[in-house]
Structure 1
Amino acid sequence: MRRTNVLSTSSAPVIVLVHGALTDASVWHEVIRRLHASGYPVLAPALPMRSLAGDAAYLAGILEQIPGPVVLVGHSYAGAVISHPAVGAGADVTALVYIAAFQPDDAESAGELNAKFPGSMLIPENLLIAPNPLGGQDLTLRPERFAEVYAADVDAAHAAVMAASQRPIDPAALGEQLPGEPAWRTRPTWALVSTRDFSLPPEILRFMADRAGSRIVEVDSSHAVPVSQPGATTDLIIEAVRAVSPSTDTASR
């Protein structure tokens, strides 16, 4: 059944916000509020986080329910998901926006890319890996290390809430290679580079964005840029929407 709410009645593309590992869709809350205030239809699904292929299939199923064009936005690990060849196969994805996110090429994995340059604090001593009761494993950041590694510029109380409510990822997903041509090769792309990022260092973010030919904006932020810099995040998303759909200007912010 196709969605028949505001997502299908607006003339603007639907903006689909996809969260990364260790967080859930709540990282987009302030961005969603700003996009809604500007009149844009938004959807922010929660990924299963069990495998890259599974996350891509899940997201593809959601996109297929949306009539009309989509601007797809991914944070962190979700950059690999929105790059997956399966995601845009049955949907009208007109642009991709990478928010401190992976932009893997064919046969590359997120884990491989993050080891390409020094500086990441996603290292064994800062991580916890535990068996998942349903099978597989769960990877999270040690709560006492979460703020420094992931959200150093987020209010301490908010960062503590994020640390306590992490959405685990199966570490195998981070080693899973992209199985074919990435979506960024055939669509216009935008990339937000967080210059104080200790999860995905800015050098790797710049490398991937340059390679993809993305329009790059840099912001002084930790990896939790949708939380700490929602204005810059929203501005880049709206820039992408207006570039691919210039006739759908909505209410001014």
Structure 2
Amino acid sequence: MATYVLIHGAGSDARYWHRVVPLLHTEGHRVVLPELPVDDDAAGLAEYADAVVAAVDGSPGTDGDLVVVAQSMAGFTAPLVCGRLPVRLLVLVAAMVPAPGESPGDWWANTGFAEARAELDRSEGRDPAAGFDPLVTFFHDVPAEVTAEAMAQAPRGQSDTPFAKPWPLDRWPDVPTRFLLGRQDRFFPAAFQRRVVRERLGFAPDEMDSGHLPALSRPEELVRRLEAYRTQAGLR
């Protein structure tokens, strides 16, 4: 039995994982769902990591191998947790990959995100200058009923605070790491992610057919991938 720690992305909450959790429970694993203080202007990356550690420490029965799964911006938080918890495996899903000393705010220009996103939009017939529409960018492959349920929830704001300070680590943690991208991701294009992961982590990412939100659009496939990573790593 493993303990999966599922960390949501920016402007989101732990409900993002609601289609994944029962599938992991069916496999016999425990799940910890930290709630990051994304709408708190007093909270930065350090406080985000504190929230994850507190959630794990406050969850009874979280023995067994610890697997941390980070979605999107949580790629900045998850490595900080690895220095404070006995993490056996780190899985990044459609995630940002920080460089030492880089702030989340600088990540966008440093990686060439805007150019990559505009190129993808043009190649798929969308106007790069159009305003951001989450239904187009995030929910295009999410089932209609799941999208409707998500849209019915009160929106959660994202503070700018965690984007301001540099990522404090001088290197990637010494924890086995896997990266899973979505081939139909309209936010972090697949070609862009392949380049960034190779440049920053030194390996080729794995791929699945999904957009930016695979926990909502392809939960069964996502759990199969997570379980495969776990068994490949020799974890319980």
Smaller-chain TM-score bracket:
0.7 to 0.9
- Give structure 2 stretches of 5+ with no counterpart: 119-127
Alpha-carbon distance in 2 for matches of 1:26, 1:226 = 10
| Corresponding position of 1:95 | 89
Which 4+ residue blocks in structure 1 deviate beyond 6 angstroms?
none
Task: Determine if the alignment matches structure 1 residue 21 to structure 2 residue 10.
Answer: yes
- Give the C-alpha shift of residue 178 in structure 1: 0.7
| Corresponding position of 1:245 | 234
Match of 1:217 among 192, 206, 213: 206
- Give the C-alpha shift of residue 90 in structure 1: 3.0
1:88-122 Cα deviation digits (max 9, x unpaired):
2331111100110112121123333334232448x
Cα separation, partners in 2 of 1:159 and 1:171, compared to 1, 3 Å: farther
User: Share of identical aligned residues, percent?
Assistant: 28
Q: Calculate the TM-score normalised by the size of structure 1.
A: 0.75
Counterparts of 1:17-56 in structure 2 under 5 Å?
Answer: 17-49=6-38, 50=40, 51-56=44-49
Task: Determine if the alignment matches structure 1 residue 81 to structure 2 residue 77.
Answer: yes
Cα separation, partners in 2 of 1:83 and 1:205, compared to 1, 3 Å: farther
CA RMSD of aligned residues (A): 2.5
1:132-160 Cα deviation digits (max 9, x unpaired):
xxxxxxxxxxxxx2111211111234324
Q: Secondary structure at the match of 2:150?
A: helix
| Corresponding position of 2:156 | 167
- Residue 78 of structure 1 aligns with an amino acid whose one-letter code is A
Between Structure 1 and Structure 2, how many residues are aligned?
Answer: 215
Alpha-carbon distance in 1 for matches of 2:104, 2:192 = 11
| Corresponding position of 2:223 | 234
Alpha-carbon distance in 2 for matches of 1:189, 1:99 = 11
Q: Secondary structure at the match of 1:15?
A: strand
| Corresponding position of 1:198 | 186
- Give the C-alpha shift of residue 176 in structure 1: 3.2
Cα separation, partners in 2 of 1:207 and 1:63, compared to 1, 3 Å: farther
Question: Could you tell me whether the CA contact under 8 Å between 1:72 and 1:93 is conserved in 2?
Answer: yes
Cα separation, partners in 2 of 1:124 and 1:93, compared to 1, 3 Å: farther
Alpha-carbon distance in 2 for matches of 1:185, 1:214 = 15
- Give structure 1 stretches of 5+ with no counterpart: 1-11, 128-144, 249-253
Q: Secondary structure at the match of 1:226?
A: helix
- Residue 19 of structure 2 aligns with an amino acid whose one-letter code is E
- Give the C-alpha shift of residue 125 in structure 1: 7.1
Match of 2:135 among 126, 147, 155: 147
- Residue 79 of structure 2 aligns with an amino acid whose one-letter code is S
Question: Could you tell me whether the CA contact under 8 Å between 2:180 and 2:208 is conserved in 1?
Answer: yes
Alpha-carbon distance in 1 for matches of 2:210, 2:25 = 23
Q: Secondary structure at the match of 1:191?
A: strand
Question: Could you tell me whether the CA contact under 8 Å between 2:83 and 2:173 is conserved in 1?
Answer: no
Q: Secondary structure at the match of 1:53?
A: helix
Q: Secondary structure at the match of 2:205?
A: strand
| Corresponding position of 1:62 | 55
Answer with 217-226 or 73-82: which moved more.
217-226
